[in-house]
Chains A and B, each alone.
Chain A
């Protein structure tokens, strides 16, 4: 089954403790992206990757890092989480060159930073 898998589904952590949210897709998609969703603000793009070893900032990249060492995986790294990073996070993927193709989203990771 074609899917984007995020882990964990829920995460509670404390300020300053490094964490990684994993994202994996099994569709051989070149493009992957991370979003955060906050009440009243909608979905905002954090980082995206056009292909392996190619990443770039989205609209709200501060406090986040990503890496794309292989096509299927696109982890989101919070080196020193802060309470304002408490949010619902989604990973998404898209085939190469298909601007009008549908995005596939993961089920989300609800992060709480205390």
Chain B
């Protein structure tokens, strides 16, 4: 199973953009890249996902490298409510729908 590597922690200031990196050098051609986040005392929640092209939604943007070996989650204007653990995950197309979870990046947002 392909794995992801993320920094343990990052810090940002409120209303500034945040770029959360993820390395997935062993990604296969059919693996999707997902990002979830987990707020304190809550279950993980979906943020965004993509396969090859960059993706945007109301929460964030996902920039995927051309060789797909890395990706970056972009929060355009961090708020205090964005303080969470962010997980970069790969999912395979097999029957398990398995997601390989790492330890994520703990994002602190300073007022």
Contact A105 B44 (CB under 8 A): yes
B95 partner residues in chain A, CB cutoff 8 A: 50
Complex: how many Å from CA A44 to CA B98? 10
Question: How big is the A interface, by class?
Answer: 20 to 34
Contact A48 B96 (CB under 8 A): yes
- B101's partner among A40, A43, A50 (CB-CB below 8 A) is A43
B32 partner residues in chain A, CB cutoff 8 A: 99-100
Q: Which residue of A lies closest to B48 (CB)?
A: A102
Question: How big is the B interface, by class?
Answer: 20 to 34
Q: Is A107's beta carbon under 8 Å from chain B?
A: yes
Q: Which residue of A lies closest to B36 (CB)?
A: A103
Q: Is A75's beta carbon under 8 Å from chain B?
A: no
B51 partner residues in chain A, CB cutoff 8 A: 100
The minimal Cβ–Cβ distance linking A23 to chain B, given in whole angstroms, is 11
B43 partner residues in chain A, CB cutoff 8 A: 4, 90, 92, 105-108
Which residues of A, 9-49, contact B by the 8 Å Cβ criterion?
Answer: 31, 33, 35, 40-45, 48
Complex: how many Å from CA A50 to CA B58? 30
| Secondary structure dominating the interface of A | strand
The minimal Cβ–Cβ distance linking B6 to chain A, given in whole angstroms, is 11
The minimal Cβ–Cβ distance linking B62 to chain A, given in whole angstroms, is 12
Q: Which residue of A lies closest to B45 (CB)?
A: A105
- B92's partner among A42, A90, A92, A99 (CB-CB below 8 A) is A99
Q: Is B68's beta carbon under 8 Å from chain A?
A: no
Complex: how many Å from CA A90 to CA B49? 21
The minimal Cβ–Cβ distance linking A111 to chain B, given in whole angstroms, is 15
Contact B101 A44 (CB under 8 A): yes
Q: Is A70's beta carbon under 8 Å from chain B?
A: no
Which residues of B, 55-110, contact A by the 8 Å Cβ criterion?
Answer: 87, 91-93, 95-99, 101-104
Q: Is A76's beta carbon under 8 Å from chain B?
A: no
Contact A90 B44 (CB under 8 A): yes
Q: Is A94's beta carbon under 8 Å from chain B?
A: yes
Q: Is A56's beta carbon under 8 Å from chain B?
A: yes
B93 partner residues in chain A, CB cutoff 8 A: 99
